Structure 1
Amino acid sequence: MLGKFKDNCYIIREAVLVTKEQKFLNALKDIFVGTKVEGESGFINLMRIKSCYFEKSVFPRLMEDINKALEPFPDFREELFDRLYTFFHRYFSESGSIYYRHTPLHERVYEQVYTDDRDVMLFWKTHMLYYVKTDRLFKSMEIEVDSFRFFFDVSSLEHKKNNEKRELVYSFKEIRNDGAIIFNVSYSEKGRKTKLDNIRKEIKNALGLPRYTDQVPGEEVLERAFRIFERQSEVDYFICKDARKFLREQFDLWLYQYVFEPEYKEEGSRGGTIWSEKRIRQLQVLKEIAYKIIDFIAQFEDELVKIWNKPKFVIDSHYIITLDRIAAQEKGLDMLQRLFEHPGMVAQLQEWRSLGMIDNEFKPVDVWEETDLLDQRLSDRYQYLPVDTKYFPDLEILILSLFDQLDQVLDGWLVCSENYQALKTLLPKFHEKVNCIYIDPPYNTESSKIDYVNMYKHSSWMTLLENRLSIAKDYLKNNGIICVAIDDNELLHLRHVLSLYFPEELGIAVVRSNPAGRSTPKGFSLNHEYALFFAKTNAATVGRLERTEAQKARYREEDDKGAFEWVNFRKHGGLRKEAPRMFYPIYVNPSGTWRVPKLEWNEELEEWVVLEPPADDEQVLWPIDENNQQRRWKWTPERLLQSLNEVKVDEDRNGKLAIYIKSRMPEEGITPPTWWDKEEYSATDYKTAAGRPVSFRGRDESGGRVKK
């Protein structure tokens, strides 16, 4: 009984006691039903099916099995439900997802993270899941602001399909009999926004008022009400990859603790379980019931996994083909004439203009050169204009029929899809056929102004990346390379996740992406991002960059082998201990002659023993720098003596005699540096913004055909 004083009266209320059985069943209902949600989406529909599965199938069968198992010892009922709750509540989330949700230290939750082939392992709480999306679980709710009551109806809200950022739009519906103002809630489409003026006008009219009075909420009140409604919490949706294996492993670990460890000792015992035939049977029942619950959960979760990984149907596809490719086919010129006369050309022209490919004065006839009628050909300026077949649906098949081997001539695919589903669907076609993958994932940085979700929990972000990288690996050839752009916020996590599927780290380039700097709360102004290069196998190699004109100009001299420059024979940065055989004396004289004295290698000391002294006019040169640091020559004595025409004696920058050798310009180019600071790397100056005109004349002459 609970009681309290109010207005000199003692109010007595009946305490509501929740039994351990009800506590567990409520938790079990959460995993199948989750938080009640309203609205429409594919995932919401699956949650409703899951709820129905629990109420009509799981719950009746489970209670029947429990009641039957407890017949020999009904006094075990409370302990059974208490232990089931103790275990299962750790892994139940409000979205119905199964993972390490509740893991305080005293719960002693364990995970096997070691393997035979890796001595360093990466673990995060959601690593065994498929990430689906992050969304707010909006519920219809009533709030009060400055004596106004508002009710927000989300029953028709279509939840987001992916992680795009979408604003909520509010529209006035009606005024309820009790005076509450009801709003319909929807997501913005095509830039639609909430119009406060219209809402206030509709409320005024619904109240039958000739003019605005205090009965009509002001714009500030409406905005406050909208902000309060939008504070509903965000939820991550996951699917467990193997719920049965995960939960059984966790239960077996937990059961061991419960049976054997002192934390679970019974009163009067030294620790652990008091063994008896009855107690053993009770523990067997506990395990049997737990395994049945796990099987019920896994049965539905496995179906979700199948649905999630099932290749998806293409709901729409079109082709983009440049004019020159169409013209090159038999009857291609006739097809171009039909395209230019087609009603869809109006929309095509508008697209070309919006992309900056043509000006407002352009007419279809401008694509032709001024030649005689028997020699009609495309203008060099406009021959690469891309035709999108979506504007010419009745001609699409005829256009495609111009090409004998269409699939072979397609040189690009543009796919509009949630990227995990696209990767799964296209994998059979592109399995181990890709040379290079470049991805630019969310940086998980709050200040980034982008059109998709960019503030994940670190564990959710890592799962999002892991799911996609695990498939991307199978696209790459064995000598292929993946490059991933990122900034400091997730650099550490990204490196570890990449190493799970791409064990060869080729290097990390630092990109000066923001010369002006981006302020951060911690005090630094960030100027850089990173480009991470990884590979599946050690067969992958990093290519070379073409030399600049300034770099080529260094090779000013030339002989019968080609251009070269003279470089110091002493290796820059190389130390004696790295290559002891390349530390030896060279005798030179002022006339420019040189020789290597007789030497003998001492295996024990790992050094050359000099067997003859220098002549009176000879000077001894060792690979020792200005700081008296012992370094090394570039070649061994044997190779030096085999390259007499590649060597000379000259004065160095300090006027001292030194050995120089010819350095030739490698044909393959220069090794890429890890510091990228060119102006065109600046994201603030050169980023592609929506609606910015695309440079057309500088386009690659191979044209462009992209299948969407």
Structure 2
Amino acid sequence: MDSLQKFQDLLKKLFQFEASDLDFGIYRILNYKRDKIERFIQEELKKKVENAFAKHKDERLTDINQRFEEVKQKIIQNFGQEALTPTGELKEEFKNTPLGKEFLSIKAQKDEVKAIDEIKSQVFNDLYNFFSRYYEEGDFVPQYRYSIKGHKYAIPYNGEEVKLYWANSDQYYIKTGLLFRDYTFKAGDYRVIFRIVSAKEELGSNKATKERFFILDDEEPLKIEDKTLIIRFQYRELTEEEVKHYDIEGGSNTAKQEKINQKSYDEIFKEIEDVTLKGFLGQMKNEKPLLLYQLNRFTAKNTKDYFIHKNLRKFLSEQLDYFIKSEVLDIETLEKEKFLDKHITRAKVVREIGEDIIDFLSQIEDFQKKLWEKKKFVLKTEYVITTDRLPEEFYDEILKNESQLKEWQDLGFELPKNKEELKNKKLPIDTKYFSQEFKEKLLEKLTENADL
């Protein structure tokens, strides 16, 4: 794989191209700009590098050609036209003169600039090395680089006596728990949904694991309706029998879940009778069947923390500046070079292309940040109030409300037989089970003498 292809593959991972068929959350934002980003990676990236090299090469050649012509004229004036061969080369007897040495030095610089295209692959390697260090498995890792040797990282510090710092201090922590939402993707013209359902019974002392895992629902694992396949999962501890069934003794939780996913995949395939659907689900994606690939992503997504950087553009721009000065233009490389023009050009191109990519990444990150920081608006408000606090005029309607009575039963409360019991039992009523008119009257009564 050449350096350009390697870097293009990295960019596809950064922009999560493998998730292009997902239709929720950040993937919708990415899909909105997918065509533009793909065009940049596949077509514009190489052209931009070539154009940048051509621009810097032309600028440099213009200056060198001018100096070359000036020293060439001086040679003709001092030594005559015969000092040069018909092809423009300096004859041997004039090479050790001061003008001859200057002529040869400038000519060597000219040849060096013409051969500058040879370091294009080095530019792609530089860009790969820079961006790959800040992304691990699709997640951004904000590590301030200090050195490529010894102590590699530093913390942003302005001389305070005490500095409290943690790795994600410049990021918003987005997910504090499990996101048990439907996970949707497409398989051909079919729609596939992974859905979490509650476990039907407590395992009690029968559970063999403290950790919870995603396993197929034992009651109704699959459901197919109008080209939509719904696969249902439970998220719970496992029994001894299930640990043996999935063969997950030992290893990390991630490895255990992946083993369970493989078993689940095999069981799902056995259950599906639709040959066309099986064909779509079995298509290879990232060296795995589509269904297994999506299943691994689904389980990882629901057990992973997410962060949004507060100022990604500033962070990456500062780090790119440091990277260029310390690694592209590092002193050890420059000491070995006779002429530095090609490395100056290399640094300029790395900065130019790097800033374009940072712009794409920060646009997406800033959009997420705006959504996160946006003030939340209350769409609906309900109240839970115990019955002993309610005026008796509402008791009749409460006792007739079947939804409220059912909730009390589900919560294990004994149902009141009359108004007196309703008052004494201090049962909680939820206004979501009542009409808007009931709620307004109730709030009006409760706030006659004091705020709620």
TM-score by length of 1: 0.38
Look up the match of 1:186: 232
Q: Secondary structure at the match of 1:401?
A: helix
Cα deviation for residue 349 of structure 1 reads 3.8
Q: Distance in 1 between matches of 2:431 and 2:164?
A: 50
Look up the match of 2:158: 115
Look up the match of 2:24: 41
Cα deviation for residue 342 of structure 1 reads 3.6
Query: CA 1:93 to 1:159, structure 2 compared with 1: closer, same or farther past 3 Å?
Result: farther
Q: Distance in 2 between matches of 1:102 and 1:281?
A: 23
Q: Distance in 1 between matches of 2:397 and 2:324?
A: 75
**Is this contact kept in 1: 2:316–2:358, CA < 8 A?**
yes
Residues 655-686 of structure 1, C-alpha deviations (whole Å, 9 max, x = no match): xxxxxxxxxxxxxxxxxxxxxxxxxxxxxxxx
**Is this contact kept in 2: 1:167–1:187, CA < 8 A?**
yes
**Is this contact kept in 2: 1:97–1:237, CA < 8 A?**
no
Equivalent AA in structure 2 for residue 247 of structure 1: L
Match of 2:6 among 13, 23, 26: 23
Query: CA 1:308 to 1:37, structure 2 compared with 1: closer, same or farther past 3 Å?
Result: same
Look up the match of 1:69: 52
Equivalent AA in structure 1 for residue 326 of structure 2: Q
Equivalent AA in structure 2 for residue 409 of structure 1: D
Look up the match of 1:32: 15
Q: Distance in 2 between matches of 1:205 and 1:294?
A: 44
Asked which structure has the greater RCO (Cα within 8 Å, sep 6+), the reply is: 2
Provide the identity percentage. 24
Look up the match of 1:250: 319
Match status 1:402 vs 2:441? no
Match status 1:85 vs 2:128? yes
Q: Secondary structure at the match of 2:137?
A: coil
Q: Distance in 1 between matches of 2:12 and 2:272?
A: 45
Match of 2:397 among 338, 343, 367: 338
Unaligned 5+ segments in structure 1 are 1-17, 141-152, 175-182, 208-225, 328-332, 369-377, 411-708
Cα deviation for residue 41 of structure 1 reads 3.5
Aligned runs of 1:94-133 on 2, under 5 Å? 94-100=137-143, 106=149, 109-124=152-167, 126-133=168-175
Aligned runs of 1:109-508 on 2, under 5 Å? 109-124=152-167, 126-133=168-175, 155-157=192-194, 167-169=214-216, 171=221, 185-188=231-234, 234=300, 236-259=305-328, 261-265=330-334, 267=336, 274-276=339-341, 279-314=343-378, 316-327=380-391, 333-350=392-409, 354=411, 356=413, 359=414, 362-367=416-421, 381-382=424-425, 384-394=426-436, 395-404=438-447, 409-410=451-452
Q: CA RMSD in A?
A: 4.8
Cα deviation for residue 247 of structure 1 reads 0.5
Q: Secondary structure at the match of 1:156?
A: strand
Q: Secondary structure at the match of 1:248?
A: helix
Residues 372-397 of structure 1, C-alpha deviations (whole Å, 9 max, x = no match): xxxxxx5xx33x43221122135223
Residues 26-51 of structure 1, C-alpha deviations (whole Å, 9 max, x = no match): 11221112544765532443444454
Q: Distance in 2 between matches of 1:135 and 1:101?
A: 30
Query: CA 1:90 to 1:189, structure 2 compared with 1: closer, same or farther past 3 Å?
Result: closer
| Paired residue total | 317
Cα deviation for residue 245 of structure 1 reads 0.9
Equivalent AA in structure 1 for residue 50 of structure 2: N
Cα deviation for residue 303 of structure 1 reads 0.7
Query: CA 1:206 to 1:85, structure 2 compared with 1: closer, same or farther past 3 Å?
Result: closer
Cα deviation for residue 91 of structure 1 reads 1.0
Query: CA 1:242 to 1:401, structure 2 compared with 1: closer, same or farther past 3 Å?
Result: same
Q: Secondary structure at the match of 1:305?
A: helix
Look up the match of 2:86: none
Q: Distance in 1 between matches of 2:444 and 2:412?
A: 28
Higher helix content, 1 or 2 = 2
Q: Distance in 1 between matches of 2:172 and 2:196?
A: 19
**Is this contact kept in 2: 1:66–1:289, CA < 8 A?**
yes
Query: CA 1:22 to 1:78, structure 2 compared with 1: closer, same or farther past 3 Å?
Result: same
Q: Secondary structure at the match of 1:253?
A: helix
Cα deviation for residue 297 of structure 1 reads 1.3
Q: Secondary structure at the match of 2:375?
A: coil
Unaligned 5+ segments in structure 2 are 58-115, 198-210, 243-262, 275-290
Q: Secondary structure at the match of 2:140?
A: coil
Q: Distance in 1 between matches of 2:214 and 2:271?
A: 26
Query: CA 1:19 to 1:350, structure 2 compared with 1: closer, same or farther past 3 Å?
Result: same
Look up the match of 2:88: none
Equivalent AA in structure 2 for residue 261 of structure 1: D
**Is this contact kept in 2: 1:323–1:385, CA < 8 A?**
yes
Query: CA 1:227 to 1:82, structure 2 compared with 1: closer, same or farther past 3 Å?
Result: closer
Q: Distance in 1 between matches of 2:369 and 2:23?
A: 21
Look up the match of 1:622: none
Aligned runs of 1:662-673 on 2, under 5 Å? none
Residues 577-636 of structure 1, C-alpha deviations (whole Å, 9 max, x = no match): xxxxxxxxxxxxxxxxxxxxxxxxxxxxxxxxxxxxxxxxxxxxxxxxxxxxxxxxxxxx
Query: CA 1:75 to 1:228, structure 2 compared with 1: closer, same or farther past 3 Å?
Result: closer
Query: CA 1:387 to 1:316, structure 2 compared with 1: closer, same or farther past 3 Å?
Result: same
Equivalent AA in structure 2 for residue 244 of structure 1: R
**Is this contact kept in 2: 1:39–1:157, CA < 8 A?**
no
Equivalent AA in structure 1 for residue 431 of structure 2: T
Query: CA 1:242 to 1:296, structure 2 compared with 1: closer, same or farther past 3 Å?
Result: same
**Is this contact kept in 1: 2:145–2:153, CA < 8 A?**
no
Higher strand content, 1 or 2 = 1
Q: Distance in 2 between matches of 1:61 and 1:266?
A: 34
Residues 456-491 of structure 1, C-alpha deviations (whole Å, 9 max, x = no match): xxxxxxxxxxxxxxxxxxxxxxxxxxxxxxxxxxxx
Aligned runs of 1:642-661 on 2, under 5 Å? none
Residues 166-209 of structure 1, C-alpha deviations (whole Å, 9 max, x = no match): 734263579xxxxxxxx963334999xx9x9xx99x969969xx
